[in-house]
Structures are given as C-alpha cells and as structure tokens.
Chains A and B, each alone.
Chain A
C-alpha cells in the first residue's frame, strides 16, 4: 500500500513536470505558436494507446495459444485502457485542428482509420457484454481483438503512405522531419509521463478483471454446492429433495 502510494505520488510529480515543461519550457513553434503545445499531450496519448493495444494484441494471441484466463483479463484491460487513450487523442486532435485548420474534423486517411480503430475496440467491449459463457466470451474477444489490431499499422502509417490533412510525421518521418532539441526532450518527458499513467491504470484494470474472475469462481463454487449465491438459502430444488 505504501509502495503504491509512493509510485502514484512519483507519477503525479512526473505529470506536473511534464505539464510545466510542455507549457513553459518548450519553445514556441514558429507558425502555430502556443496551440502547438497540444502536440506534447496528443502524441503522448497516441503512444500510450499503441502500447495498450499492443498489450491487448499480445494477450489475445497468448490466450488463444494457452487458454489461460489471465491473458483474457490482460487483453480486456489493454483494450479498455487503449480506448481511453484513443478517446483522449480523438478529442485533443480536433482542439488543435480548429484554430490551425479552421475545421474540427476531416475524413482523411489518418483520422478516418483512427476513428475506425476506436469504433472497432468499442465494438469489442460491447461484444464482451453480450456473451455470457466465459470461455466463449474470452475466445471470441481474443479473435476480435486480433482482427481489430490489423488497423493499428494502418493508423500509424496512414500519413506516411497517403497525402493527408493530418501533419506529416516529425519523428522518423524521413527527410525534412525532426524536432528542435528542446522540443524533443520535452516530448520525451511527456511520452514517459503519459506512459506511466497508462501503465498504472492498466495495472489497476487488470487487478479488477482478476478480482471479477475470482468472484465468478466463488459464485460457481457456491452454485455447485447448491447454495443460492444471493441470500445463502438452499435452492428450491434441493429444499424439495432434489425433485
């Protein structure tokens, strides 16, 4: 508990430092000025999203190979946290686009593929809610997550493969790309801060899923012993002598 508190406090400090660096230390961009500073959180959230979805993809493959419930728990945790990061990215993007482009949204390859990715993983979460059988739920979810993950490389490569309204990549974007050294350091700090937040949230979400599994096992054990899981009374069938 004390270790957890210390880690949370350290991450909170990291968030504060990253925020301060993004708002006050990073130099003003020549054409966009202050609004460009959204970039530091926006890119960091996409990075966190890619990591979370990669965890979900890996866990889904591992579940299909091993059949162990812990991988299913990690898979759904990765997807849920990835959706949260994706939602933040989809909100902060238009907040940058409105003053710079004059429009909130455009259906270019980058934005459209990202929106489809978000819809796919929302569908994954809805799908899980519709299936009751745990084994079937875990298997279908894993297959669906692997299928949805096929969109991830497309999202990453969209502005490299096609001409998009979305800015061209500034990191590993080939000739002419690159960042001011101070901007690079601030970006690295923000990437690390948001990644740590994502990791903390992911660990908690995984713990929740494991507790849910434990709860389901207890309910199953109670039901198999013939105790009503809700009020502790014997089931009507047993009260009547099993007829």
Chain B
C-alpha cells in the first residue's frame, strides 16, 4: 500500500494523543481525590 507509513502514523497519532491525554486526566483526578481525602481528615481532626 503506497504511503502506508503516513497513514499508519496519522492513525497512531489520533489514538495515542487521546489515550495519553486521558491517562494524564485520570492521574490528575487520582491526585486531587487523595488531596481532598487528606484535607477532609485534617478538618475532622480539628
């Protein structure tokens, strides 16, 4: 298939960018949830 490398790269770019972005969002959500738990505990201690 002619120009297959361009087609394959474009295909990979689309899903890789979405996947990496989703992973970073999920990681940030986990970090913020941990922070919220820590802050809630701090408030309860008070």
- By a beta-carbon cutoff of 8 Å, the part of chain A in contact with chain B is 15, 19, 23, 33-35, 37-38, 41-42, 45, 84, 87-88, 91-92, 95-96, 98-99, 194, 197, 200-201, 204-205, 207-208, 211-212, 214-215, 218-219, 221-222, 225, 227, 229, 232
Contacts and interface: CB of A to CB of B under 8 A. Distances in A.
B20 to A, nearest CB: 9
A218 B24 CA distance: 23
Contacts of B25: 201, 204-205, 208
B13 A35 contact: no
A91 B32 contact: no
Q: Main secondary structure on chain B at its contact with chain A?
A: helix
Nearest to B18: A197
A207 B29 contact: yes
Contacts of B36: 211, 214-215, 218
B30 to A, nearest CB: 10
Contacts of B26: 204
A211 B42 contact: no
A226 to B, nearest CB: 9
Contacts of A34: 1-4, 7
- 10 nearest interchain CB pairs? A218-B39, A35-B3, A211-B32, A92-B10, A95-B10, A38-B10, A99-B3, A41-B14, A34-B1, A204-B25
Contacts of B9: 95
Contact of A211 (B10, B17, B21, B29): B29
